[in-house]
Amino acid sequence: MQSNVQQIPATPGEKVQDIKAAKPRWTSESLLALAEETNNHGAHIPAYGEVEKRWKEVVEAMKNRGYSFSNFRTLQHRFERLLEEFRKKRSERATVSGVEDDDDDDPLQLLLEDMNDEVQDYQAEKVQKKTEEKNKEAALVAGGKQLRDKAAVQILNGEAVRVGGDAVELNNLRTPSPAMSILGLVTVVRKGSKRSREDKMLFDLMESERKKVELDNDARMEMHRAEMAMRKQELDVKLQEVEASRQQNQIMLTTLQNQMLQHQQAMELQMKQFELKLKKHEEDKKS
């Protein structure tokens, strides 16, 4: 399939992989294709950990439409700039009253408007989810503090502390180990005591909150590991791009040095030829 984009020299900021082939000049048709494939594959609102996957799908889709790209970040950065230009233009139009909007029938502008709304909803949802997680964590901490305060009051008052329905008489305990926790005070048990529903609920709630905190911590650690792995992968890709750019610059420098050397040798040869002609001319004059 014949490509729909014209070729121009590479511009700064583009990736090395696409520099090997001349950079495309973006036209209205190619920008519309980019927006359509970005929307088709949801690359503008990716799920967690799927940013690279979605944009690579866009690269393949663009290739199928006749556009040659090898680096997904080229398309990602171009779409982000396209969406930013759309927002700026829409903001400028909003400040001017009585100006007819010529973009109402433009399919690219209509598509960007829908995608911009989706991006804003996506970002708002992420903020809301993060806020809910913080509120949940704060509630767990507050609930755990209330439970610890209640247990501490029972200990100070010399009351029996029930653990899973079994009462422990604090007055009968000998010198306890500092490492003993409330949940570990099960040495002296009042046999046959009637289980209090309230105390059992207290224990169950404490156990439930403890498990929730552990699960939340494990989830946060897993997310942190995933983020670190993704950052490492991005740094590795960046390092490869920098190394490729360095090698290309070295090749260009070597080529330039060879050209300068050849030019210098040609100049020296011309000087020698000129000197020989001049010497011959002087000899002819003398003779």
Over the stretch 181-218, which tens digit does the pLDDT of each residue have?
444 444 434 444 445 666 777 777 778 778 878 888 88
d(CA 84, CA 78): 10
Q: Which residues, 6 or more positions from 22, have their beta carbon under 8 angstroms from its beta carbon?
A: 7, 8, 9, 10
User: In this predicted structure, what is the pLDDT of residue 23?
Assistant: 58
Report the pLDDT value the prediction gives residue 17, as an integer from 0 to 100: 45
Parts of the chain with a pLDDT under 70: 1-24, 97-104, 152, 155-156, 158-198
27 lies in a domain? yes
- pLDDT at residue 160 in the model: 57
Task: Report the alpha-carbon distance of residue 87 to residue 123 in Å, rounded.
Answer: 15
- pLDDT at 10 (0 to 100): 42
pLDDT for the residue 159? 64
- Residues 83/116, Cβ–Cβ less than 8 Å: yes
Q: What is the largest CA-CA distance in the chain?
A: 142
Of 42, 59, 52, the residue nearest 118 (C-alpha): 42
Q: What is the pLDDT of residue 70?
A: 87
Residue 73: inside a domain: yes
Which residue type occupies 16?
V
In a domain, 16, yes or no: yes
Is residue 196 included in any domain, yes or no?
A: no
Q: Is residue 112 part of a domain?
A: yes
Query: How many domains would you assign to the chain?
Result: 1
Full domain range(s) for residue 24: 6-95+103-126
Question: Does the residue 180 lie in any domain?
Answer: no
Lookup: tokens for 255: 């080529």
pLDDT on residue 223: 86
CA distances from 270 to 260, 267, 274, 275, 276 (A): 15, 5, 6, 9, 10
Helix (H) or strand (E) holding 24: strand 23-25
Q: In the prediction, which pLDDT does 78 show?
A: 95
**268-279 b/e (C-beta count within 10 Å ≥ 16 → b):** eeeeeeeeeeee
Distance CA 113, CA 207 (A): 49
Domain membership of residue 221 (yes or no) is: no
pLDDT in tens, 52-64: 999 999 999 999 9
Do 33 and 65 meet the contact criterion of CB atoms below 8 Å apart?
A: yes
